A and B are shown apart, each in its own frame.
Chain A
Amino acid sequence: QQQVKQSPQSLIVQKGGISIINCAYENTAFDYFPWYQQFPGKGPALLIAIRPDVSEKKEGRFTISFNKSAKQFSLHIMDSQPGDSATYFCAASPSNTGNQFYFGTGTSLTVIP
């Protein structure tokens, strides 16, 4: 049973466009929601993260939108660039269990020049 559901599986966006990746969860104990970026042959790297006390967090061209009542969160990449082409994973973690993490299945983003 997938604890964090991620969509779409793949995404193709034109350079300068907006990329949007969505995630949904059921476990209300989750209180930390990071997004990771992974390039081929590399380990995932933290991109941006949010906690449920805020509805939005922005870092440069990357924004997380968080809807606590709907149990959904999404990553928006503004002005998408070819260098953003990578696989993106959302994740969720509950603070009451130490160090458990549940990841989405990943979204392969391709930004066309």
Chain B
Amino acid sequence: EAQVTQNPRYLITVTGKKLTVTCSQNMNHEYMSWYRQDPGLGLRQIYYSMNVEATDKGDVPEGYKVSRKEKRNFPLILESPSPNQTSLYFCASSSQQGYTQYFGPGTRLTVL
């Protein structure tokens, strides 16, 4: 089954404790993105990638890091999480720009 998976689905952590949210897709897609969803703000793009070792900042990259060492994986790293990073995070992938983005199920992160 074609899908984007994210782990963990739920995470409660404390300020300053480094964490990684994993994202994996099995569709051989070139493009991948990370978004955060907050009430009243919609989805905002954090980082995106066009291929292995090719990443770029989205609209709200501050406080986040990403890497794309393999085509299928695109982890999101929070080196020192803060409470304002409490949010619902989505990973997405697509075969090309301007084609269907497939979203993962989301990761709900709470930073205390």
A residues near B (Cβ < 8 Å) are 3, 6, 9, 31-32, 34, 36, 41-46, 49, 51, 89, 91, 93, 95, 97-106
Contacts and interface: CB of A to CB of B under 8 A. Distances in A.
Given A42-B105, A102-B45, A105-B41, 7 more contacts: A34-B101, A43-B106, A49-B100, A89-B43, A95-B98, A101-B43, A101-B101
B101 A100 contact: no
Interface in B19-57: 31-33, 35, 40-45, 48-50, 56
A103 B98 contact: no
**Which of B35, B42, B58, B100 counts the most chain A CB atoms within 10 A?**
B42
The number of chain B residues touching the other chain, given as a range, is: 20 to 34
Interface string B49-75: 110000010110000000000000000
Contacts of A104: 42
**Which of A31, A104, A105 counts the most chain B CB atoms within 10 A?**
A105
Contacts of A45: 103
27 contacts: A3-B59, A34-B100, A41-B106, A42-B106, A46-B102, A49-B100, A51-B98, A95-B97, A95-B98, A97-B56, A98-B31, A98-B56, A98-B97, A99-B32, A99-B33, A99-B49, A99-B94, A101-B33, A101-B43, A101-B48, A101-B101, A102-B59, A103-B35, A103-B43, A103-B44, A104-B42, A105-B41
